[in-house]
A and B are shown apart, each in its own frame.
Chain A
């Protein structure tokens, strides 16, 4: 086995600036997207994900310019999420230099959109972002549902049924966020991740809850994830990506050397 597991820093972008909030409050400015991207690339990030959290759709054009600027000088895969609702949104981001787009809410409201997007642009650039929340009781077997609106609105859709469907519809990758863990820094929901990873053919990115480097290891070894996504532990210099890679390598996980 020589394919490396990936570390993907995620940058939330609001009106062209990288920000980081904890559980959607206390938004802190973390700087210029291009500078952040350059630094992460130098530290050995395997990919970058930008999430556009700009509230007004009028300002979405700003994100296009962010992607253009980053793609001109950072040569690792770039994923853009947030506000991807139509084929035209995907076209715009790919033309700006994104390699993949991540579709979340639009997939829940219209699963056919994922099929149309994969058909038009190829599965390799369609990431389906899945926000799941545990709905089973403490001692029951794990059961998770898809939630929208930042984890506030239940949809009644079973998470495992959903990821199988998205795989069948042409998703090239699943970005799985545990809404129970997001922002908590207590680690991924590895039981959820392992169930999802076993349910689909495509790679799974674990997200939500990373607070230290052991959590990244656990996401791979226990959660069977193909990649791990984290934001805050990298943004504020708590850990460097190179440090994370060395730590994971030391526990037997295959990583790309920096």
Chain B
């Protein structure tokens, strides 16, 4: 029996995250959707999702008083960041004329740009929306039974640039190669949505609920 807390700060459709975790968790595990910092801190593992704009997300995190709990959990137990829940772990995002984020890692979140192009000059749509490949740049327990270069579902207009190259665990090509997955110690975070990535995503979530938090 373990408790998996899904942090709810009012940003986005968390129902799918909860549904997917319930499918991959053991029947006696508890998947808890919560806005309560104490419940986040009491959980065995924490999933930190998020959608929408960085400015709204940071405001909501503070309104719910969740900042300390999220930062603490990100450092001491199996922790999974998804989409905006990955981006706001960094220091700063370009979104909303610049947003100070949680600062768990050094780096920035940048906009793809209105004139984004591929290698041959063909215009690319923003948001980057749909199924794209994730190249696994190093071994990790969460990649267990996830084929390298598998496709995951993405929807985002901003991408993360971590200062420390050691953080990168997966990359994706969209006009250029960007960091789609980071991992350090007990933390793993993705730009894409495992809860919307069919069997591939469910396998990654299954790995997470069984993970001991060791890289």
Contacts and interface: CB of A to CB of B under 8 A. Distances in A.
A and B: bona fide binding partners? yes
Contacts of A129: none
B151 interface: yes
A6 B20 CA distance: 22
Contact of B118 (A1, A6, A72): A1
A123 B173 CA distance: 22
B118 A226 contact: no
Nearest to A45: B198
Interface stretch (A54-62, A90-98, A158-166, A233-241): A90-98
Contacts of A172: 127, 129, 155
Nearest to B128: A3
Nearest to A95: B15
Interface string B25-49: 0000000000000000000000000
Interface in A112-141: 121-125
Contact of A1 (B122, B127, B156, B195): B122
A99 B173 CA distance: 24
A75 B125 contact: no
B201 interface: yes
Interface residues of B, number: 40
A3 B175 CA distance: 10
A94 B129 contact: no
Contact of A46 (B23, B122, B130, B173): B130
Interface string B116-129: 00110010111111
A5 B52 CA distance: 23
Nearest to B155: A124
Interface residues of A, number: 35
A5 B132 CA distance: 10
A203 B201 CA distance: 23
Interface string A6-47: 100000000000000000000000000000000001000010
Contacts of B11: 122
Nearest to B56: A122
A123 B126 CA distance: 11
Contacts of B127: 123-124, 172, 202-203
A224 B51 CA distance: 28
Contacts of B125: 201-204, 226
A76 interface: yes
Given A99-B13, A124-B127, A72 B51 contact: no
B146 interface: no
A240 B185 CA distance: 44
Interface string B1-18: 000000000011101100
B131 interface: yes
Contact of B15 (A96, A226, A256): A96
B53 A122 contact: yes
Given A1-B118, A201-B126, A203-B125, A256 B151 contact: yes
Contact of A76 (B12, B52, B172, B196): B196
A227 B52 contact: no
A14 B202 CA distance: 31
B114 interface: yes
A97 B13 contact: yes
Interface string A65-77: 0000001110111
A173 interface: yes
A110 interface: no
A4 interface: yes
Contacts of B51: 122, 124-125
Contact of B201 (A73, A75, A96, A124): A75
Contacts of A73: 19, 23
Interface of A: 1-6, 41, 46, 71-73, 75-77, 94-99, 121-125, 172-173, 201-204, 226-227, 256-257
Given A3-B124, A4-B130, 8 more contacts: A3-B132, A71-B16, A75-B201, A77-B153, A94-B15, A122-B11, A172-B127, A227-B130
Q: Identify the 10 closest CB pairs spanning chains A and B, nearest first.
A: A122-B52, A256-B131, A97-B15, A4-B131, A124-B155, A203-B125, A3-B132, A2-B173, A256-B151, A94-B13
12 contacts: A1-B118, A2-B132, A3-B132, A4-B131, A41-B198, A71-B19, A75-B197, A75-B202, A77-B153, A124-B129, A203-B125, A204-B125
